[in-house]
Amino acid sequence: MKSDTSIPLLPCVELAPTLEFYALLGFEVTYQQRSPNPYAATQREGAQLHFFGLKGLDPLKAFSSCLIIVNEVEELHARFLAALKKAYGRAPVRGLPRMTRMRKGQTRFTLTDPSGNALMFIRRDEPSGYGDDENTPTSILGKALKTARRLRDFKGDDAAAAKVLDAALKKPDAGTEKEREQALADRAELAAALGEVPDPASP
C-alpha cells in the first residue's frame, strides 16, 4: 500500500518560461495543458512540482513557497549555480530568479523562481535549529552574526542581515576581534549581493 503524497501547486506568470526555467534545473515535464487553464506537472527524482497560470500575479509580491528534502545540498547547489550562470551569465543572488549563496557545511539553500516562488532545499539529516542550536553566542557581535546568518542563508533577506550587522558593528566592545573580522567579511559579501559594490565573484 502506497503512502500519502503531497505535491506543491505553485502559481506562475506564464507557463512556458516557467517550464524552461525548471528544465535548467533538471525538472522534466510529466503533464501539460494549455486550455481551459494553463497547468503543468514537473518532476526531478522524487520531487514533484505543479504549476498553474495566475493572471495578475506580481512576482515581487509573491509569497508561495515549499520545502524540498534532499539527500545532499552542496553538490545540488553547485549544479544549479552552474546551470543558472550558463543561462543568465551571472550568479543570480538578487532580483528574479535568484538563489541564496552556499557555504561549506550549510544544510539548506533557497531558490526563488521568475514568478517569485521560493523553494527551500533542505538536507535530509539537517540538525535542529538550522544546525546552529549549539552555537549560543553571548556577545553582541556573536548574536548578530548568528541572526544575520539565518536571515541571509535561510530567509534570503540580505537587506535585513546587513542592518543587523551594521547595528552591531557600530557598538563599541561588541565582541572579540575575531568576531569583528567575521562580521566585516560577512558585511562585505552582503554589500556585493545588494549591489552596493561590484561583486568580485561575478564575471
Task: Burial-class residue 5 by CB neighbours within 10 Å (0-12, 13-18, 19+).
Answer: exposed
Mean pLDDT of 80-100: 92
Looking at residue 72, its pLDDT comes to: 95
pTM recorded for the entire structure: 0.82
Please state at what angle helix 177-193 crosses helix 140-149, rounded to 10 degrees: 30
Q: Give yes or no for a contact between 130 and 107, defined as CB atoms under 8 angstroms apart.
A: yes
- Pick 53 or 100 by higher pLDDT: 53
> How far apart are the C-alpha atoms of 80 and 74, rounded to whole Å?
10
pLDDT at 101 over 90: no
The per-residue pLDDT of the chain, averaged, comes to 90
pLDDT at 201 over 60: no
Task: Burial-class residue 129 by CB neighbours within 10 Å (0-12, 13-18, 19+).
Answer: exposed
Looking at residue 179, its pLDDT comes to: 94
Q: Is the peptide bond before 38 cis (omega within 30 degrees of 0)?
A: no
Looking at residue 73, its pLDDT comes to: 96
Report residue 30 as a C-alpha cell. Answer: 510529466
Looking at residue 95, its pLDDT comes to: 87
Question: Each residue of 148-186: pLDDT tens digit?
Answer: 988 887 777 889 999 999 999 999 999 999 999 999 999
